[in-house]
Chains A and B, each alone.
Chain A
Amino acid sequence: MTEARDDQGAGAVRAGAAATASSRSSGPGRLLIAVYGVFALAATARAGYQIATKFGEAPVAYLLSAVAAVVYIVATVSLARPGARAYRVSVVAVATELIGVVTVGLLSIVDAQAFPSETVWSAFGRGYGFVPLVLPVLGLLWLRRTRPGSASA
């Protein structure tokens, strides 16, 4: 019943998004950034907790936790900000995240001894419902769709 109106609304949003530089934080991007924000929060809290309470136990794993936290924070902020520079930063951050989750995921399974403690990226993010593995893929797809100049040039 309300579909026609809402489709129109979505169309207008899409057209508006293509015309402005901040299209990344619009539509599906809104949800993407929200999920990135949650992971930035979770990874930061976890890394902070691990480093504050038991850094000596597994320094490499906990430093990795901290790296993951920084990557999530940079990704969240750069995705939310308009402009070509923020776009490039977000591509680097999301690509780093993908490489990180695949590398740490593989290592944590192949060489479990080296990664005795859990990080967000351990076992491809199993402890977080594999969201850390899916998120960068969706992120890169979204960034490709909202490439600056691809629609508005």
Chain B
Amino acid sequence: MDPFFLIGTLVCAVSALLCIGAALLRQPPNDITILSVAAVELFLLVYGVGAVIRQLTFEPVLGEAWEFWGYLLTALFVPIGAFWWSIVEKTRWSNFVLAAAGLTVFVMLFRMEQIWDGVAGL
């Protein structure tokens, strides 16, 4: 199992749980939930750097390279979009929006791993 995938899953899961928890407690977005989504974004950036290194050295992508990078570039916009969409309104529902970012990025990460390992496409 790819350590990147494990770390990414963990970051996304912790972020989603924190945001859902805060939403259930009727909290509007706070430093913790916003920073957790920032951590998801940070992970994606590190993942991207890692992917470049992997691509150039010992473990190139087995699936379609442009599909992988398309997923990654799109995923990078998800936490930013969620932050932008949630910050306008200070209700607990904005925390659910932030939670959706972590869940969405996890699904996209799952697909990116499949593409990297050459599992059949869409």
Contacts and interface: CB of A to CB of B under 8 A. Distances in A.
Contacts of B82: 34
A6 B94 CA distance: 14
Contacts, number: 57
A46 B78 CA distance: 16
Interface stretch (B1-9, B10-18, B83-91): B83-91
Contacts of A27: 89, 91, 93
Given A31-B96, A49-B67, A10 B85 contact: no
**Chain A interface category by residue count:** 20 to 34
Contacts of A46: 122
A118 B92 CA distance: 35
Interface stretch (A35-43, A95-103, A132-140, A143-151): A35-43
Q: Main SS of the interface on chain A?
A: helix
Nearest to A26: B89
Contacts of B104: 38
A41 B93 contact: no
A3 interface: yes
Interface of B: 26-28, 67, 70, 74, 78, 81-82, 85-86, 89-94, 96-97, 100, 104, 121-122
Interface of A: 2-3, 6-7, 9-10, 13, 26-31, 33-35, 37-38, 41, 45-46, 49-50, 118
